[in-house]
Structure 1
Amino acid sequence: MKAPTSLPIFSSYKYDSKFYDEIFTDNNEVREVYETLFNLFSEYSVNDFANLNDKAKDAFFNQGITFQVYGDKETKEKIFPFDLFPRIIGYDEWQKIEKGALQRSKALNLFLWDLYHDQKIIKDKIVPIDLINSSVNFLKQMKGFNPPGGIYNHVSGTDLIKHSDGNHYVLEDNIRCPSGVSYVVGNRAALKRTLFGVFNHYQSYNVSDYGQNLLEIIESVKPKGVDIPKCVVLTPGVYNSAYYEHSFLAKQMGVELVEGRDLFIENDFVYMKTIRGLVRVDVIYRRVDDLFIDPLEFNKDSLLGVPGLFKSYMKGKVCLVNAPGTGVADDKAIYTYMPQIIKYYLDEEPILNNVHTYHCSRPDELKYVLENVDKLVVKPVDESGGYGISIGNKLTKEEIEKVKETIKASPRKYIAQPIMSLSTHATYIEDENSFEPRHVDLRTFTLLGKDKDFVLKGGLTRVALKRGNLIVNSSQGGGSKDTWVLKK
């Protein structure tokens, strides 16, 4: 690590004109929305900012804001890397993002309803049946079932990038158990503590109301005959990578955090064991994957779920958030059909564009991918956390051949996309004691309930902290920034 100096923090900043820099224009001028912030930060020396950065890390440590990293030999718990220089999104720009995220969530919910009922979109030959039947996330047990309120994806996360053309593109939709919202709220709290005077120069939307809105959403899908529902958050336990988030959201909503062993089924109702006796549970915000929620119905070896839980759900005695079987719709192979899905169910053009995607199950597209691996990003359709991704121009010839063999062994499991030019954002790099451009994306969070919907105004900006890296996930060494959505 270089020793701190008294130089201004942006004195050595150099952006790459090949990418869209969110702070500077091609003429090396500060963008209007960042002018006040840039001037305030420019008052700090590198030495001053290094001290502030240490304070922010202490704040995260004291709050217990951590995540798990799974290695080959051991699992480590780390403080979530947080950069003090926030990302700013103007009011007009956010309106498009919010409307686009909500549009996608609603279309995906209608798509799921159709898949588990009449399958009209398949009969009309918009989406091929083999793509659905071959998905490990399509649960035949859900066919014909009507979830409370007609909602499958109560919680959705939409991952966006800003390309070199200045436009936003959706990289993927996450509607199983999207994580990261706790870091959105934690980032805001840490930044306010560390740089309260800076924060007050902008009028941005609040993000701490997410928990209240989530509670209202899950309460809205309570079982029939229940007036005041008892809600809980179901976690796999302390060793899960997102355990901090599970406990955080339970506290935010004022509900119990439970593990499978805390619940049991009697007469098809779900009960929670407490020191005051048994309490009936009506809504479960589950952070346990489908195949582990009930050993009687799915994975018989699972110790994470509750025996008989799925039967209770089928009988309408409890509501599960998100609904089992939602994963079939956030399969990256289904992503390629999102423009058609939106048009089919909503009769609207997509507000947010997809990245052009090749699906390796199609022979002509497989041929193209195999011939151009060096120019593409290859992704497994059902992985998350940045695992299993291959970026062609970073691979050796031997690695490219290995990727080709992997794809050919199971084409259905892979998609490929052009190597997109993710925008860059000024980020403090500790080892260099300076600000440098780093690639960023944005995860928005959308809630769908029986009578309301909600998009959090200020999603999770994730940062690839390694120079030149395009993978922003925390599990791959990424960090995050506070995201300010400005009021009009």
Structure 2
Amino acid sequence: MLTNYQSGEFFDEMVSENGEPRSHYQWFYQLVHQFSEQELLEKHETAQLSFLRQGITFTVYNHTGGTERTMPFDFVPIIIPDPKWKQIERGMAQRVAALNHFLCDIYNEQQIVKDGIIPAEFIEQNPYYYKEQAEGINVPLKKPIFLAGIDLIRDENGEYRVLEDNLRNPSGMSYVFQNRYVMRQVYPELFFQHAIETLEQQFSELHQAVISHMPEHAPQGKAPNAVLLTPGMYNSAYYDHVFLAQQMGIELVEGRDLLVRDDIVYMKTIRGLKRVDIIYRRIDDDFLDPEAFRPDSALGVAGLLRAYRKGNVSILNGIGNGVADDKAMYAFVPDMIRYYLDEEPIIPNVETYFLRDPEQLDYVLGNLEKLVIKNVGASGGYDMLIGPHSEPEEREEFRKKILENPAQYIAQPTIKLSRAPAYQDGRFYPCHVDLRVFVMNGHETHVLPGGLSRVALKEGSLVVNSSQGGGGKDTWILAGGGVANA
């Protein structure tokens, strides 16, 4: 069934320009040819049912309310040879190190602004810059980014580029583990011949990263008590919250389960109050503390910011991280790497146009049909124009929105996103893919081997987000020959 597969004009993860499988996919290519059409179909359906039975879902919100869905899964893995993965690891560690420096800097001395690297207005006018709440806080380890989700793509030459930084509440890590679990259950044949980087120790790495963020005034001589703070079961990523808390062995709590007394955070238990030292929060800044942010928030904990400021509790990720993953700030990250680390970026950005610049604005307005336009404050594939796939009326609508508020949008060239085979509806066809890499920051920086490969399952689509019809693939890092250990 793969014999007639065509890679086309895009870089293909599995097949080279001459139609032959790449060396690290050769064995997989041959193995798939041994399955009958019926076997492939049965395995595909079993994989989807496995997600359904385990309740692996996310919620898509629209004008009619929320719809619970399982993440569509595709069994063709993304395979990355070890040397290429080592480059990605170094690039991700470098990028997150610079971003941590940047966040500590702008909430303290603002040296990068004084030295003219980043214009002050890009920070001061950023809606996610919480100067009043976050200024001067002594962040444990000086790492406001405990967990980052960096989205990578491959261009037409097969080179990796950073598409987006997610530094507030990156989601999707649970799917990395569930994708691997389903692959091992449904396609055990694929794991017999090759050594694949294991995921078994990764929860220990994540837990170590969490508890290493001890607050300044934590009680001495006892293990810190960490909790995961969720908005609750109606949040679109609630499955992610439950799964991570269970696997790390920490309590999953909602705002109503916590209280602040004498600037110390406590968790309510049947045995009374128990002190909380570290909060891995999955609640946005605005809802974290009704005293310091939105007074109408019922999700947060009154007085939490006071306890944080006094060094009695750590909050992961840090407050105000959104200023660093804003789509407008993204263009400055290579400059941050040069400024703070005195290094050249290992993984480059995608070229980006700032629409507040009159020259760049004119160029973009004259070339909407060639570019991708993004709202700097939106995520999940919303409020985005993909020029080559748009209708004239859509482009006209975006033209009006851009002219109304140019600073709210950025533009990028339409990258020829790499593709990989997907097996859907009984056949193989090429689909665009990207990769979310998860970077954990404790005393050391650790990159989860593989990450979440997302695939635009709708034929011809460039949007990989699950909320827009995308699905997931398992991601394999080949550790060399021998028996697989995944």
Match of 1:486 in 2: 478
Query: Which residue in 2 is equivalent to 1:183?
Result: 175
TM-score (normalised: structure 1) = 0.96
- Summarize the alignment of residues 45-124 of structure 1 with structure 2, pairs less than 5 Å apart: 45-124=36-115
**Which residue in the other structure is 1:221 paired with?**
213
Contact 1:261 1:304 in 2 (8 A): yes
User: Secondary structure of 1:399's partner?
Assistant: helix
Structure 1 vs Structure 2: percent identity of aligned residues?
47
Q: Tell me, which stretches of 5 or more residues in structure 2 are unaligned?
A: 481-486
* Separation in structure 2 between the aligned mates of residue 294 and residue 329 of structure 1, nearest angstrom: 21
Rounded to whole Å, the distance in 1 between the matches of 2:7 and 2:17 is 9
3-state SS of the aligned residue for 1:50?
A: helix
2:252 is equivalent to residue 261 of structure 1: no
CA RMSD of aligned residues (A): 1.0
Change (3 A) 1:211 1:477: same
Choose from 444, 452, 457 the match for 2:444.
452
What's the counterpart of residue 3 of structure 1? none
CA contact (8 A) 1:270 1:282 kept: yes
Q: For residues 404-457 of structure 1, what are the alpha-carbon distances to aligned partners after superposition, in whole Å with 9 as ceiling and x for unaligned?
A: 110111111111000001111010112xx10100000001000111x2111001
Structure 1 unmatched runs, 5+: 1-8
Query: Is the 2:138–2:311 Cα contact (8 Å) retained in structure 1?
Result: no
Instruction: Find the partner of 2:433 among 431, 440, 449.
Output: 440
Alpha-carbon distance, 1:14 to partner: 2.8
**One-letter code of the match for 2:370?**
K
**Residue 67 of structure 1 aligns to a residue in which SS?**
strand
Letter of the structure 2 residue corresponding to residue 245 of structure 1: D
**Does the aligned pair in 2 maintain the 1:263–1:272 contact within 8 Å?**
yes
Matched, 1:193 2:188: no
Instruction: Supply the distance in 1 between the matched residues of 2:200 and 2:235 (Cα, whole angstroms).
Output: 24
Equivalence for 2:147: 155
Task: Output the CA distance in 2 between the equivalents of 1:15 and 1:356.
Answer: 25
C-alpha deviations, 1:214-265, integer Å up to 9, x for none?
Answer: 1111111112343311001001111111100000000110011111111111
Cross-structure match for 1:342: 337
Structure 2 length-normalised TM: 0.96
Look up the match of 2:484: none
Aligned: 1:244 with 2:239:
yes
1:43 correspondence with 2:34: yes
Q: CA deviation at 1:208?
A: 3.5
Q: Report whether the alignment pairs 1:27 with 2:46.
A: no
Counterpart of 1:23 in 2: which secondary structure? coil
Aligned equivalent of 1:470: 462
1:356 corresponds, among 344, 351, 361, to 351
* Worse-matched range after superposition: 136-145 or 199-208: 199-208
Partners of 2:233 and 2:119 lie apart in 1 by 40
Aligned-partner residue type, residue 36 of structure 1: W
**1:379 corresponding residue in structure 2:** 374
**Cα offset for 1:12?**
4.3
The question of 1:135 aligning with 2:89 is answered no
Is the contact between residue 12 and residue 434 of structure 1 (CA under 8 Å) also seen in structure 2?
Answer: no
Please list, as runs of the form range in 1=range in 2, the aligned pairs for 1:229-308 lying within 5 A after superposition: 229-308=224-303
Distance 1:196 1:10 in 2: 20
Structure 1 counterpart of 2:336, one-letter code: I
Q: Is the 8 A contact 1:169 1:355 kept in 2?
A: yes
Aligned length in residues:
476
Cross-structure match for 2:396? 401
User: How far apart in 1 are the matches of 2:428 and 2:174?
Assistant: 26
Q: Distance in 1 between matches of 2:104 and 2:234?
A: 33
CA distance in 2, matches of 1:413, 1:366: 12
Matched, 1:330 2:321: no
Question: How many angstroms does 1:269 deviate by?
Answer: 0.8
